[in-house]
Amino acid sequence: MEKLIERFVKYIKIDSKSDPESTTTPSTEKQWNIARVLLEDLKEIGMQDVEIDEHAYVYATLPSNIDKEVPTIGFIAHFDTAPDYSGTNVNPQFIDSYDGGDIVLNKEKGLILSPSYFPELKKYVGQNLIHTDGNTLLGADDKAGVAEIMDAMDYLIKHPEIKHGKIRVGFNPDEEIGMGADKFNVEKFGADWAYTMDGSVVGELEYENFNAAGAKVKINGKSVHPGYAKDKMINSMLIAADFIQQFPKNETPETTEAYEGFYHLHNMKGDVELTELNYIIRDHDRKKFEDRKVFFKKVADDINKKYGEGTVDLELKDQYYNMREKVEPVKHIVDIVEESMKEMGIKPLIKAIRGGTDGAQLSFKGLPCPNIFAGGLNFHGPYEFVPVPSMEKARDLIIKIVEKTANKFGK
C-alpha cells in the first residue's frame, strides 16, 4: 500500500495539464516531464521493451511466464490532467480513517468537502482519503490509474508464482482534450485487447459510451457606430442568441441522465462583428446521434436563410463513437473483469459512460478496450479526492485479470 501511495503522490506532483488550443502532440511540453519519469520507473521495476515515442507515448512489456499460448492483454492510463483547472503545485492532504464529517479544503477560500453536498462521502467513513488543499485539482484522473498499473506490474514481477501471459502497458498524453488515442500505436502495442484504468468508483466497468461530435459556430455581423446604425448594423451576438434558442431546452447536460443525449454549449465569446459558439453533441444511440447532427446543420441553414447567406459558418466534426459496437463481438473481455470482481467481493457496476474514453477510439482502431474503475471522485476541480482502499482494489483487480486470463484462455 505504501509504495502505491508513494507512486501516486509522486505523479500528481508533476504538472502535466494538457491544452485544447495546442496543435502539437503532446499538447504541452510539461507532459514530457511525467512521461520521462514513467519511462524510468518502468525500467526500474524490471519491465522490458520500455520505450517512449516522439509524441510522449510510453510503452512497456511484461513477458509471459508460462509455456501456454495466452492472449496478450494491455492496461492503459493517461497522464495528462484537465486543462480547465490548475494542476500546478498539487499539495495532497491525507486523512486517516475519515470520520464522516466536513473536510475543510481551504479555510481562506471557504472550500469545504461536505457530505451534505457530496453524499457519496458517507460511503468512505473509516477509510483513508487523499484530497486537495483547495488550490488545485488532485490528478487522480488519471494518475491513480497510472500508479495502479505500475504497482500491479511491480507486484507481478516480484511474484513469479502468479502465472500470466504477455502483458503490455501504455501511458499516454492528451486524453483530457480528446486526443489521447490519436497517435497511440495500436499495431506496435500488439495486444489482443486492453483495458483503460480510468473510471471512478469501485466496481465501475464500462464498455459503452457516447457517440460524440464537436461543433464550432461562427456568426458574422457588421459593426457600425451605434448612433448611425439604423438598417446597417448586424449584431452577431443577438443572432447568436436566436441560434441558441433553437435547441430543445430539455436536451442539455443539466437536464439529462443515463442514455439521454444532449446539445451542450460549453463556450462562447463575441462582439458585434463576430460571435463564436462551441458545442458538443452527444448520444449513445448512433441513429439519434446522426439525427442530432442533421438538426444542428438545419439550425445553421435556417439562420442563414433568416439573416442572409454567410451569416453562420459551421464546422461540425465527429470525435469518437460508442465502443459497444466493437466490444460486444468479443464480450468475453468484459466477462473476465466481471468474474474477477465477483471473486474479489466487488459488486460490478456496469453502466454506460456519459462521456468519452480513450478506449472508445482505441476500440475503433482495432484494440477493443473497456474501461475499469481507478477510484477517484469529483474530477477536474478542487473537490477531487480518492479513497486509498479503492486504489488498492483497482491494483489487485489488474493482477486478478491477468491471472484469470491465463487460466481461462491458455492452450
Catalytic residues: 80, 175
β-pairing, 93-95 vs 129-131, is antiparallel
Exposed / middle / buried, residue 315 (Cβ in 10 Å: 0-12, 13-18, 19+):
exposed
Q: Quick check: 220 and 230 in contact, CB under 8 A?
A: no
Contacts with 181 (C-beta within 8 Å, 6 or more apart), sequence order: 172, 175, 358, 360, 361, 362, 365
Q: Measure the CA–CA gap between 346 and 337, rounded to whole angstroms.
A: 11
Q: Return phi, psi of residue 36, to 5°.
A: -70, -35
Cell of 185: 500505436
Q: Measure the CA–CA gap between 30 and 185, rounded to whole angstroms.
A: 22
Cell of 243: 441560434
Q: Is 219 helix (H, G, I), strand (E, B) or coil?
A: strand
Cell of 371: 474501461
CB atoms within 10 A of CB 364: 17
Sequence-ordered strand ranges (E) for 167-311 = 167-172, 193-199, 204-206, 211-220, 262-270, 274-283
Q: Measure the CA–CA gap between 386 and 366, rounded to whole angstroms.
A: 32
Q: Quick check: 279 and 217 in contact, CB under 8 A?
A: yes
Exposed / middle / buried, residue 294 (Cβ in 10 Å: 0-12, 13-18, 19+):
exposed
Per DSSP, the residues of 100-119 read: SS-EEEETTTTEEE-TTT-G
Q: What is the DSSP letter of 315?
A: E
Beta bridge partners of 269: 276
Contacts with 17 (C-beta within 8 Å, 6 or more apart), sequence order: 28, 30, 80, 81, 82, 83, 86, 87, 88
